Amino acid sequence: MKILNWILAILFALFAAVQYNDPDPFQWILLYGGVAVFYMLAAAGRVYRWAVWAWLVWIVIWAGLLLPEFSGWIQMGTPSIVESMKTDKPYIEFAREFLGLLIAAAGCGWLLWRGSRPATA
């Protein structure tokens, strides 16, 4: 598990690193960076479940705020979100942000689930 924790820590750190050109980079760097730190700590044998739970609650609240926009994107038939952001297509940013939150939530969820299991040889 230690190797997987380091791999996920590096992956989430890379997610944080590429957020510098986002319209709102600091909150995304903080979001992904926090998950990366949790995985680094887990690799060192320290899982602070209360902190991961708090992070997950923050993610769920944030995703809940974006849920209406994400639902609207789905109702439009899920048009492409891989093109550049345009003012006439705000759904691109909302869909990307919602999916990014799902990735971070999955990372926290996995850490909580795996962190609650006893280590096996």
Q: Which residues contact 82 (CB under 8 A, 6 or more apart)?
A: none
pLDDT per residue as tens digits for the range 2-26: 899 999 999 999 999 999 888 789 9
Would the CA dihedral through 36, 40, 43, 47 be positive or negative?
A: negative
Between 85 and 30, the more confident residue is 30
Domain ranges of the chain: 2-115
Between 37 and 118, the more confident residue is 37
Residue ranges in 44-90 assigned as alpha helix (H): 49-75
How far is it, in rounded angstroms, from Cα 99 to Cα 37? 20
2: how many CB neighbours lie within 10 A of its CB?
A: 11
pLDDT per residue as tens digits for the range 42-63: 999 898 999 999 999 999 999 9
Coil/strand/helix, residue 89: strand
Phi then psi for 64, rounded to 5 degrees? -60, -35
Q: Which residue has the tokens 């096996």?
A: 120
pLDDT per residue as tens digits for the range 25-38: 999 999 999 999 99
89: how many CB neighbours lie within 10 A of its CB?
A: 17
pTM: 0.85
Over residues 92-106, the mean pLDDT reads 90
Over residues 89-99, the mean pLDDT reads 84
